[in-house]
Amino acid sequence: MNTIQNIMVCVTQQKTCERLIRRGAEIRDEYDGELYVIHVAKEGYHFLGNSRDGDALEYLFEKAKAYGANLTVVRSHDVLQTLKDLAEKNKIDLIILGESYENNEQKNVVSRLKKHLSKGIEIEIVPVQRENKAV
């Protein structure tokens, strides 16, 4: 990884976002950069996929604030283009994403975003946390 100045953490579901924000904060602290937490909601959908937008937005705000991040929440018809535009606007060097459950590359957001981004922007995938069970 080259010198990282600006990190963008893309969040979707409130239950999984803290681990992504925490990872972004770890990298930010290592490189003394800026941390941006971004959620782009598709036009016509609830912000975080449920009808409890107020609670979800408050949760996101609190988590972003706790890690010293800037929070941006927007609606868009074209989520990938909006993420690309925000990455360029904020001069992002690294994007943190959660692992996609979608195996189909055409539907996999991570694969699609990689193809959409400007050169020089790295992506780090944070794997889904699996429960450790004693054998």
3-18 mean pLDDT: 84
Of 20-29, 40-49, 88-97, the least confident: 40-49
Please enumerate in sequence order all residues whose Cβ is within 8 A of that of 69, keeping only pairs 6 or more positions apart, or say none.
Answer: 9, 21, 24, 25, 35, 36, 37
Q: Where are the domains of the chain?
A: 16-30+37-78+89-103+113-128
Spatial separation of the C-alpha atoms in residues 104 and 50, rounded to whole Å: 25
C-alpha angle 103-86-114 in degrees, rounded to nearest 5:
30
Convert the pLDDT of each residue in 39-69 to its tens digit: 988 877 665 555 566 777 888 889 999 999 9
- Give the predicted TM-score (pTM) of the model: 0.84
Convert the pLDDT of each residue in 96-131 to its tens digit: 998 877 666 666 778 888 888 888 899 999 987 755
